[in-house]
Protein backbone atom coordinates (compact mmCIF):
# COMPACT_ATOMS: atom_id res chain seq x y z
CA UNK A 1 0.00 0.00 0.00
CA UNK A 2 2.81 2.39 0.90
CA UNK A 3 4.50 1.66 -2.44
CA UNK A 4 1.29 2.50 -4.32
CA UNK A 5 0.97 5.76 -2.40
CA UNK A 6 4.59 6.62 -3.21
CA UNK A 7 4.12 5.93 -6.91
CA UNK A 8 0.88 7.87 -7.05
CA UNK A 9 2.51 10.85 -5.33
CA UNK A 10 5.30 10.82 -7.91
CA UNK A 11 2.79 10.63 -10.73
CA UNK A 12 0.90 13.64 -9.37
CA UNK A 13 4.15 15.64 -9.43
CA UNK A 14 4.83 14.27 -12.92
CA UNK A 15 1.45 15.56 -14.14
CA UNK A 16 2.13 18.96 -12.53
CA UNK A 17 5.43 19.18 -14.41
CA UNK A 18 3.79 18.22 -17.73
CA UNK A 19 1.07 20.86 -17.23
CA UNK A 20 3.71 23.42 -16.26
CA UNK A 21 5.72 22.57 -19.38
CA UNK A 22 2.60 22.89 -21.55
CA UNK A 23 1.82 26.32 -20.10
CA UNK A 24 5.44 27.35 -20.63
CA UNK A 25 5.30 26.29 -24.29
CA UNK A 26 1.93 28.01 -24.80
CA UNK A 27 3.24 31.30 -23.42
CA UNK A 28 6.34 31.19 -25.61
CA UNK A 29 4.16 30.35 -28.61
CA UNK A 30 1.78 33.25 -27.89
CA UNK A 31 4.83 35.52 -27.73
CA UNK A 32 5.92 34.28 -31.18
CA UNK A 33 8.89 32.60 -29.55
CA UNK A 34 8.07 28.85 -29.66
CA UNK A 35 11.71 27.86 -30.15
CA UNK A 36 12.42 28.87 -26.54
CA UNK A 37 10.72 25.64 -25.49
CA UNK A 38 13.83 23.85 -26.78
CA UNK A 39 16.16 25.34 -24.19
CA UNK A 40 17.92 22.45 -22.45
CA UNK A 41 16.56 23.37 -19.02
CA UNK A 42 13.01 23.41 -20.45
CA UNK A 43 13.41 19.90 -21.83
CA UNK A 44 14.61 18.67 -18.44
CA UNK A 45 11.06 19.28 -17.18
CA UNK A 46 9.83 16.58 -19.55
CA UNK A 47 12.71 14.26 -18.64
CA UNK A 48 11.98 14.71 -14.93
CA UNK A 49 8.26 14.11 -15.49
CA UNK A 50 8.95 10.87 -17.40
CA UNK A 51 11.35 9.70 -14.68
CA UNK A 52 8.82 10.38 -11.94
CA UNK A 53 5.97 8.73 -13.82
CA UNK A 54 7.98 5.58 -14.55
CA UNK A 55 9.84 5.73 -11.21
CA UNK A 56 12.98 5.20 -13.32
CA UNK A 57 16.19 5.83 -11.37
CA UNK A 58 18.39 6.20 -14.45
CA UNK A 59 16.18 8.93 -15.94
CA UNK A 60 15.72 10.68 -12.58
CA UNK A 61 19.45 10.52 -11.90
CA UNK A 62 20.14 12.06 -15.30
CA UNK A 63 17.58 14.84 -14.81
CA UNK A 64 18.96 15.57 -11.35
CA UNK A 65 22.63 15.87 -12.34
CA UNK A 66 21.68 17.75 -15.53
CA UNK A 67 19.75 20.33 -13.61
CA UNK A 68 21.65 20.65 -10.33
CA UNK A 69 24.20 23.23 -11.51
CA UNK A 70 21.60 25.08 -13.61
CA UNK A 71 19.28 25.21 -10.63
CA UNK A 72 21.92 26.42 -8.17
CA UNK A 73 23.03 29.17 -10.56
CA UNK A 74 19.41 30.20 -11.21
CA UNK A 75 18.61 30.20 -7.48
CA UNK A 76 21.69 32.29 -6.64
CA UNK A 77 20.71 34.90 -9.20
CA UNK A 78 17.04 35.04 -8.24
CA UNK A 79 17.69 35.21 -4.49
CA UNK A 80 20.27 37.92 -5.06
CA UNK A 81 17.79 39.89 -7.18
CA UNK A 82 15.01 39.56 -4.62
CA UNK A 83 17.26 40.73 -1.76
CA UNK A 84 19.51 43.33 -3.38
CA UNK A 85 17.77 44.18 -6.65
CA UNK A 86 20.76 42.98 -8.68
CA UNK A 87 21.78 39.59 -10.01
CA UNK A 88 24.76 37.83 -8.46
CA UNK A 89 25.97 36.16 -11.68
CA UNK A 90 24.01 38.25 -14.23
CA UNK A 91 22.84 35.12 -16.02
CA UNK A 92 19.07 35.53 -15.70
CA UNK A 93 18.87 39.29 -16.23
CA UNK A 94 15.95 38.58 -18.60
CA UNK A 95 13.88 37.81 -15.50
CA UNK A 96 13.74 41.44 -14.36
CA UNK A 97 11.95 42.58 -17.54
CA UNK A 98 9.67 39.53 -17.84
CA UNK A 99 5.91 39.82 -17.40
CA UNK A 100 4.45 38.69 -14.04
CA UNK A 101 2.98 35.59 -15.72
CA UNK A 102 6.31 34.66 -17.28
CA UNK A 103 8.04 35.16 -13.92
CA UNK A 104 5.63 32.69 -12.35
CA UNK A 105 6.00 30.13 -15.14
CA UNK A 106 9.80 30.32 -15.23
CA UNK A 107 9.91 29.72 -11.49
CA UNK A 108 9.72 26.04 -12.42
CA UNK A 109 13.51 26.26 -12.08
CA UNK A 110 13.09 26.31 -8.31
CA UNK A 111 10.68 23.36 -8.44
CA UNK A 112 13.12 21.34 -10.54
CA UNK A 113 15.93 22.22 -8.15
CA UNK A 114 13.82 21.06 -5.20
CA UNK A 115 12.96 17.76 -6.92
CA UNK A 116 16.60 17.24 -7.92
CA UNK A 117 17.80 17.82 -4.36
CA UNK A 118 15.06 15.54 -2.99
CA UNK A 119 16.10 12.73 -5.33
CA UNK A 120 19.82 13.24 -4.65
CA UNK A 121 19.30 13.15 -0.87
CA UNK A 122 16.89 10.21 -1.00
CA UNK A 123 18.79 7.86 -3.31
CA UNK A 124 21.74 5.84 -2.04
CA UNK A 125 23.61 6.24 -5.33
CA UNK A 126 23.29 8.14 -8.60
CA UNK A 127 22.72 5.71 -11.47
CA UNK A 128 25.99 4.86 -13.23
CA UNK A 129 24.56 5.72 -16.66
CA UNK A 130 23.15 9.10 -15.59
CA UNK A 131 25.93 11.23 -17.08
CA UNK A 132 25.73 9.33 -20.37
CA UNK A 133 21.99 9.98 -20.64
CA UNK A 134 22.54 13.65 -19.76
CA UNK A 135 25.32 13.98 -22.32
CA UNK A 136 23.32 12.48 -25.18
CA UNK A 137 20.24 14.44 -24.14
CA UNK A 138 22.21 17.69 -24.43
CA UNK A 139 23.77 16.68 -27.75
CA UNK A 140 20.43 15.62 -29.23
CA UNK A 141 18.57 18.78 -28.20
CA UNK A 142 21.48 20.94 -29.41
CA UNK A 143 21.46 19.30 -32.85
CA UNK A 144 17.67 19.59 -33.10
CA UNK A 145 17.86 23.25 -32.11
CA UNK A 146 20.64 23.99 -34.59
CA UNK A 147 18.83 22.53 -37.59
CA UNK A 148 15.20 23.23 -36.60
CA UNK A 149 15.52 26.92 -35.69
CA UNK A 150 17.51 30.01 -36.54
CA UNK A 151 17.35 31.23 -32.96
CA UNK A 152 20.36 31.05 -30.67
CA UNK A 153 18.61 28.65 -28.32
CA UNK A 154 21.11 26.53 -26.35
CA UNK A 155 23.85 28.82 -27.68
CA UNK A 156 24.18 26.73 -30.86
CA UNK A 157 24.78 29.59 -33.30
CA UNK A 158 26.50 32.25 -31.22
CA UNK A 159 28.20 32.60 -27.85
CA UNK A 160 25.62 33.29 -25.16
CA UNK A 161 25.91 35.96 -22.51
CA UNK A 162 26.58 33.93 -19.37
CA UNK A 163 27.25 36.96 -17.22
CA UNK A 164 30.16 36.37 -14.87
CA UNK A 165 30.58 32.86 -16.25
CA UNK A 166 31.20 34.03 -19.83
CA UNK A 167 34.93 33.40 -19.34
CA UNK A 168 34.14 29.76 -20.12
CA UNK A 169 34.05 30.59 -23.82
CA UNK A 170 37.60 31.91 -23.71
CA UNK A 171 38.63 28.26 -23.37
CA UNK A 172 37.12 27.31 -26.74
CA UNK A 173 39.62 26.80 -29.57
CA UNK A 174 38.49 28.70 -32.66
CA UNK A 175 38.35 25.53 -34.78
CA UNK A 176 35.92 23.75 -32.44
CA UNK A 177 32.24 24.22 -33.37
CA UNK A 178 30.18 25.88 -30.66
CA UNK A 179 27.78 22.95 -30.38
CA UNK A 180 30.65 20.51 -29.80
CA UNK A 181 32.33 22.82 -27.28
CA UNK A 182 29.11 23.25 -25.29
CA UNK A 183 28.48 19.51 -25.33
CA UNK A 184 31.99 18.54 -24.23
CA UNK A 185 32.23 21.34 -21.67
CA UNK A 186 28.96 20.48 -19.95
CA UNK A 187 29.74 16.77 -20.03
CA UNK A 188 33.34 16.99 -18.79
CA UNK A 189 32.99 19.96 -16.43
CA UNK A 190 29.38 19.39 -15.42
CA UNK A 191 27.67 16.03 -15.65
CA UNK A 192 30.64 13.75 -14.93
CA UNK A 193 32.14 15.62 -11.94
CA UNK A 194 28.70 16.23 -10.41
CA UNK A 195 27.94 12.51 -10.57
CA UNK A 196 31.37 11.57 -9.19
CA UNK A 197 31.15 14.04 -6.30
CA UNK A 198 27.58 13.07 -5.37
CA UNK A 199 28.38 9.35 -5.36
CA UNK A 200 31.55 9.98 -3.38
CA UNK A 201 29.63 11.94 -0.75
CA UNK A 202 26.95 9.25 -0.61
CA UNK A 203 29.57 6.52 -0.27
CA UNK A 204 31.26 8.35 2.59
CA UNK A 205 27.91 8.86 4.31
CA UNK A 206 27.10 5.15 4.07
CA UNK A 207 30.54 4.28 5.48
CA UNK A 208 30.02 6.73 8.35
CA UNK A 209 26.64 5.22 9.18
CA UNK A 210 28.09 1.72 9.10
CA UNK A 211 30.94 2.71 11.45
CA UNK A 212 28.48 4.43 13.78
CA UNK A 213 26.28 1.31 13.84
CA UNK A 214 29.32 -0.88 14.51
CA UNK A 215 30.35 1.27 17.48
CA UNK A 216 26.83 1.20 18.91
CA UNK A 217 26.54 -2.60 18.69
CA UNK A 218 30.09 -3.29 19.89
CA UNK A 219 30.26 -4.79 23.43
pLDDT in tens, 37-92: 899 999 999 999 999 999 999 999 999 999 999 999 999 999 999 999 999 999 99
> pLDDT band at residue 208, thresholds of 50, 70 and 90?
low
To 5 degrees, how large is the angle CA 6–CA 126–CA 3? Answer: 15
Domain count, the chain: 1
CA contacts within 13 A on the Cβ side of 91? 19
**182-192: average pLDDT:** 96
pLDDT band for 36, please (50, 70, 90 cuts).
Answer: confident
First to last CA, the chain: 39
**Sign of the C-alpha dihedral computed for residues 179, 183, 186 and 188 taken in this order:** negative
Task: Give the pLDDT of residue 14.
Answer: 95
Nearest to 149 by CA among 14, 38, 72, 25: 38
Give the C-alpha separation, 114 to 121, whole Å: 11
Domain that holds residue 6: 2-217
Give pTM, 2 decimals: 0.86
Amino acid sequence: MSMNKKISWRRVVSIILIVWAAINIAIHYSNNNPQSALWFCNTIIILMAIGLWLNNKAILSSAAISYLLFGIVWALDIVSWLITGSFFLNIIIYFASSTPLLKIVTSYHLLLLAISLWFIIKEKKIHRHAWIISSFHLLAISIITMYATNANVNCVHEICNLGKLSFIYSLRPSFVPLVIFNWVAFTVAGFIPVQIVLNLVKSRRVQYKERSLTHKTAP
